[in-house]
Amino acid sequence: MNEPFRRRRIRIGALTVALATLFVVAAARLAVIVLIDGPRLAEIARSEHTAVMTLAPVRGPIVDRNGAALALSAETRSIYARPRRLLRHSTAAARARLADALGLSGAELDARLNRGEPFVWLARHLPPARAQSVAELGLDGVGAIGEYKRYYPESNLAASVVGLAGMDGQGLSGVELQYDRLVRGQPVELEFYHDALGHPILDSPLALRAPAPGARLQLTIDSSIQAAAENYLAAEVAKSGARRGTAIVLEPFTGEVLALANAAGAKAGARLHDTAIQDAFEPGSTMKGLLGSIALADHVIEPSRMIYCEDGQWRFAGRLIHDDDRHGWMNLGGIIEVSSNIGAAKIALALGARRFGEGMAAFGLGHRTGIDLPGEAAGIIRPFAGWKPIELADHGFGQGVAVTPIQLAVAYAAIANGGMLMRPYVVQAAYDSAGDQILSHQPQAIRRVIPPAVAHQMNLLLRNVVNGKDGTARLAQVADFTVAGKTGTAQMVNPATGGYYHGRLVASFVGFVPADDPRLVILVVLYDVAHGHFGGLYAAPVFSEIAATALDRLGVAPPQAPPSYDTASLLPFGADDAPAPAAPEIADSPRTLAPDEGGGIPDFSGASLRDALALARARGLTLEIKGHGYVVAQAPAPGGSGGESEVRLTLADDPAAVFGARVPQRAHRTRREFRSASRYQRRVRR
């Protein structure tokens, strides 16, 4: 083979190998592109021709119990810019016109456009007319997006309950935050095709779905009662020089919050902070109503037992406990009426740390109530095992412990409704855009705190605080209605020293009305008032004004005659303490009557008037009633002739007249509690 031919074959072979190698590499690369990089590259290709826009839903309205709007959403336009494009395709004069249309200075607009960011907001939530003036400028790089802005038609009414929604539609406080997932609705991401310049292609086949509107929340708040509470509270805060104040109006049998008002000098944080549930204070003498209830329920004291109040000064454990006046021997009613610290301290010591601590916990102090609002505080109550005797004595008149206003209101609601602790709530129901109910809150009984007879007795004793000749809350009286309640005045804690300010007080009053048939529990707290600004002088009048307005709003008519019975021991719960949808039944009452099979006169002794009336109707008898409370005497006697058609009943207020010298024992008491109660009783007798 000649040399030229051999070299030609070598070149042909080398070229063949090279081409084959290139073919293999190309095939391998193609395989990588198709099999490995294919999905990623396809996504990049799609992204070059499609865009995504999030359509925000309209936030659902919030209304009061009667449908009055407290929060609504309005459609607005938000203006944005693509800074590079705008700067490249506009003149300084055009940008000056843009700044003027947006209400910005030229320097402010330039600062936003020169941040180096690819996207900037120029203005949010503009009215449509103003946004249209921006659009008419026709500037390349400027666009608009439709958004919804939250506004509150009643301004700051119920601000701390309703709360606040942020710029981007998210809940920040109040029910706006608590129920944000319901109220904000469901946003929709819209995909659409666009050309190389980013202009949407109108015949895009991608589907457009409208975002689902948020749910409508119906609150338990009554706007008129809320407005009255806010106005009267704000006036008293200004008059008394208080730094801030709180008022709560509660329905005792259901836990519904009819009003929750906060007043302060500055309005800036009205929607972000809720003093009524997020701040704790020392309750002062309002604790005495709870202390008396716990002591009565545990049989440590009886209403008639006399306690020596040391003529107004008592040195105990190296500390001086004093009253505002000199008092000698007094029973529980007198101690509560004149608000004796010494008497309360002695009852607390007789009760003991364990039982008093457990009693406060049963009333919900030191624990969150479970109200459906964010940020609730638990209060401050140290474990009772570590209480020193002087601390136990101080706790008896509300010093050394801290509670939230909602805790104290709920605790007194338990006295008003006959002994049941109810969970408070502010949202009644929620409805979707079609009007279908998707959430409903019903009254929830947490537990029985005290027996009905004890609640009845405490109801009577608390009336003397308002109506007694030595009562500390005569300014809490409401025309034509009977009021029961308790004042409180406590020194403010100095956080720097851990001690107390001498001239800075918290003045409060908590009570319920009408005491004969409680419809409202109202708490008023004034924070940081000067020395001498007692709860009975400053908080009690606010209670009276709010109560008068609320009773009128609810259509509660004053009794035409003195009440013939007291309903503090009547609850819509059965013996197992579970809510009953049927007509109210008497729980743990002195006696439950039922018609017997015989035809004689039944035994009415120990019955409430309601039970007696029911039995009389069942037997076809006519009753002649004298007094109120429980039946202590009747004529004719039980078992009389069936021919009798009229029975004369004598009723008495004092449960001791029915139960002897003792009130009924608390339901479900443990054996250890029985032994402890006996030891406490012996200590009191000594």
Domain ranges of the chain: 3-52, 53-219, 223-297+304-554
Percent of the chain with pLDDT over 90: 49
Structure confidence at residue 610 as a pLDDT band (50, 70, 90): low
Percent of the chain with pLDDT over 70: 80
Omega prior to 636 cis, within 30 of 0: yes
Residue 211 · residue 226 · CB < 8 Å: no
Indicate whether 554 pLDDT > 60.
yes
Q: For residue 126, report the phi and psi dihedrals to the nearest 5 degrees.
A: -85, 150
* Angstrom distance (rounded) from CA 55 to CA 195: 21
Structure confidence at residue 190 (pLDDT): 58
Q: Can you tell me the distance from the alpha carbon of 444 to that of 370, in angstroms, rounded to the nearest whole number?
A: 11
Q: What is the pLDDT of residue 270?
A: 66
What pLDDT is stored for residue 54 in this prediction? 61
State the CB neighbour count (10 A cutoff) for residue 636: 13
Q: 242, 527 in Cβ contact below 8 A? A: yes
| Strand, helix or coil for residue 240 | helix
Task: Give the pLDDT score at 121.
Answer: 80
Least confident interval from 116-130, 356-370, 645-659, 666-680: 666-680
Q: Is the pLDDT of residue 163 over 70?
A: yes
User: Would you place residue 19 in the very low, low, confident or very high pLDDT band (cuts 50, 70, 90)?
Assistant: confident
Q: What's the rounded mean pLDDT across residues 499-515?
A: 91
Strand (E) positions, 84-222?
120-126, 142-151, 164-165, 171-173, 188-193, 216-219
Cis? peptide before 514, omega within 30° of 0: yes
pLDDT tier for residue 236 given thresholds of 50, 70 and 90: very high
* CA–CA distance, 629 with 276 (Å, rounded to integer): 35
Name the catalytic one among 73, 160, 173, 285.
Answer: 285
Q: Which CATH number fits domain 223-297+304-554: 1.10.510.10, 3.40.718.10, 3.40.710.10, 3.50.50.60?
A: 3.40.710.10
Is residue 523 a contact partner of residue 510, using CB atoms and an 8 Å limit? yes
SS3 state at 331: coil
- Least confident range of 225-229, 294-298, 515-519, 572-576: 572-576
Model pLDDT, residue 151: 86
Is the pLDDT at 36 greater than 90? The verdict is no
- Rounded to the nearest integer, the mean pLDDT of the chain is 82
pLDDT of 179-194, one tens digit each?
A: 999 998 876 665 656 5
Mean pLDDT of 183-207: 60
Q: Among 71-85, 348-362, 618-632, whose mean pLDDT is lowest? A: 618-632
Residue-level pLDDT at 70: 95
Which has more pLDDT, 607 or 315? 315
Cα separation, 168 vs 140, in Å, equals: 25
Active-site residue, 105 included: no
Lowest average pLDDT, out of 51-55, 190-194, 678-682, goes to: 678-682
pLDDT tier at 62 (50, 70, 90 boundaries)?
Answer: very high
Give residue 449's pLDDT. 96
Q: Is 524 helix (H, G, I), strand (E, B) or coil?
A: strand
Q: Which amino acid is at 242?
A: A
Residue 575 has pLDDT above 90, yes or no: no
Q: Does domain 53-219 have CATH number 3.30.1330.10?
A: no
Residue 424 has pLDDT above 80, yes or no: yes
> What's residue 186's pLDDT?
77
DSSP H or E run through 551: helix 535-554
| Residue pair 175/64 in contact by the 8 Å Cβ criterion | no
The CA-based angle 639-640-643, given to 5 degrees, is 130
Q: With helix as H, strand as E and coil as C, how does 576-632 read?
A: CCCECCCCCECCCCCCCCCCCCCCCCCCCCCCEHHHHHHHHHHHCCEEEEECCCEEE
The angle at the Cα of 187, spanning 182 to 189, to the nearest 5 degrees, equals 160
Rounded Cα–Cα distance for residues 93 and 11 (Å): 70
From residue 436, how far is each of 162, 181, 212, 428 by CA, in Å? Answer: 22, 17, 14, 14
Question: What pLDDT score was predicted for residue 66?
Answer: 95
Q: Which residue from 602, 666, 670 is spatially nearest to 636, judged by alpha carbons? A: 602
pLDDT of residue 675: 37
CA distances from 282 to 190, 292, 402, 407, 575 (A): 55, 18, 4, 12, 35
The mean pLDDT of 127-133, rounded to a whole number, is 78
pLDDT of 674 reads 33
Of 7-21, 265-279, 605-619, 657-671, where does mean pLDDT reach its minimum?
657-671
Higher local confidence (pLDDT), 651 or 221: 221
pLDDT in tens, 644-668: 678 888 877 544 443 333 333 333 3
User: How many other CB atoms are found less than 10 A from the CB of residue 442?
Assistant: 11
Quote the pLDDT of residue 547.
97
Please check the confidence at residue 496 and state whether its pLDDT lies above 90. no
* Alpha-carbon gap, residue 567 to 656, rounded angstroms: 17
